Amino acid sequence: MIPEETQVVQDRTLPPEGCGPIVSQRDLVSIPLRQQVFECVRSQGQISRIDVAKRLNVSPASVSTLVADLLVGGLLKEVEAPRDPSSRGRPPVALQVRAEAGYVAGIKLSDMVHTAIIVDFAGRPVAETSLGRTSLRTDLDLLVDEADALLTQILRDAGMARAEISAVGMGLPGMVDSQRGVALWSPIIRGNNLPVAVLMSERMGLPVVVDNDANLLTLAELWYGAGRALSDFVVLTLEYGVGMGLVMDHRLYRGAHSVGMEIGHTKVQLDGALCRCGQRGCLEAYVSDYALVREASIALDLHRSETGSAQVMLESLYDQAKAGNEAARTIFRRAGRFLAAGLSNVINLFDPSLVVLSGARMKYDYLYAEDVMREALAMSLTQSRELPRIEINAWGDLVWARGAATLALAAQTEARCAAEVVA
- Of 11-25, 129-143, 351-365, 409-423, the poorest mean pLDDT is in 11-25
Q: What is the pLDDT of residue 322?
A: 85
pLDDT tens digits for range 111-167: 878 999 999 999 999 999 998 875 667 899 999 999 999 999 999 999 999 999 999
Check whether 9 has a pLDDT greater than 60: no
Q: Which stretches does DSSP call E strand in 86-200? A: 93-97, 103-108, 113-120, 125-132, 165-172, 175-177, 182-185, 192-194
Q: What is the pLDDT of residue 4?
A: 39
Mean pLDDT score of the chain, rounded to an integer? Answer: 85
Q: What is the DSSP track for 361-381?
A: GGG-GGGG-HHHHHHHHHTS-
Q: How confident is the model at residue 423 (pLDDT cuts 50, 70, 90)?
A: very low
Phi, psi torsion values for 275, nearest 5 degrees: -95, 155
Q: What is the pLDDT of residue 354?
A: 92
Q: What is the pLDDT of residue 134?
A: 59
Q: How confident is the model at residue 309 (pLDDT cuts 50, 70, 90)?
A: low
Closest CA to 414 of 19, 34, 16: 34
Q: What is the pLDDT of residue 25?
A: 57
Q: What is the pLDDT of residue 2?
A: 33
Within 8 A by CB and 6+ apart from 415, the residues are none
Q: What is the pLDDT of residue 403?
A: 95
Q: How confident is the model at residue 284 (pLDDT cuts 50, 70, 90)?
A: very high
Closest CA to 259 of 244, 270, 248: 244
Distance CA 291, CA 422 (A): 53
Q: Of 311 and 346, which is predicted with more confidence?
A: 346
Closest CA to 17 of 35, 43, 55, 47: 43
Within 8 A by CB and 6+ apart from 4, the residues are 129, 130, 131, 132, 153
- Indicate the residue type of 349: L
**Active-site residue list:** 213
User: What's the sign of the alpha-carbon dihedral 328, 330, 336, 341?
Assistant: negative
Alpha helices (H) along 116-159: 140-158
pTM attached to this predicted model: 0.86
Q: Which of 119-128, 262-271, 353-362, 368-377 has the highest mean pLDDT?
A: 119-128
Distance CA 97, CA 326 (A): 55
Q: How confident is the model at residue 378 (pLDDT cuts 50, 70, 90)?
A: confident
Closest CA to 402 of 167, 169, 154: 169
CA dihedral of residues 258, 262, 267, 268 (deg, nearest 10): 160
Q: What is the pLDDT of residue 15?
A: 37
Q: How confident is the model at residue 393 (pLDDT cuts 50, 70, 90)?
A: confident
- With beta carbons less than 8 A apart as the criterion, state whether 106 and 405 touch: yes
Q: Which stretches does DSSP call E strand in 313-403? A: 354-358, 389-393
Fold match between domain 5-9+101-218+399-422 and domain 231-352+360-394 = yes
Q: Of 289 and 410, which is predicted with more confidence?
A: 410
Q: Which of 194-203, 237-246, 313-322 has the highest mean pLDDT?
A: 194-203
Q: What is the pLDDT of residue 135?
A: 65
pLDDT tens digits for range 60-98: 999 999 999 999 999 999 998 876 666 665 667 999 999
- Start-to-end CA span in the chain (Å): 49
Give the number of other Cβ atoms within 10 Å of residue 408's Cβ.
Answer: 26
Q: Give the mean model confidence (pLDDT) for residues 183-191.
A: 92
Check whether 306 has a pLDDT greater than 70: no
Burial class (CB in 10 A: 0-12, 13-18, 19+), 189: buried
User: What's the sign of the alpha-carbon dihedral 149, 154, 158, 163?
Assistant: negative
Q: Of 337 and 81, which is predicted with more confidence?
A: 337
What CATH superfamily is the domain 5-9+101-218+399-422?
ATPase, nucleotide binding domain (3.30.420.40)
For the chain, the structural domain boundaries read 5-9+101-218+399-422, 25-98, 231-352+360-394
Give the number of other Cβ atoms within 10 Å of residue 193's Cβ.
Answer: 10
Q: What is the pLDDT of residue 8?
A: 41
Q: Does domain 25-98 have CATH number 1.10.10.10?
A: yes
CATH class assigned to 231-352+360-394: alpha beta
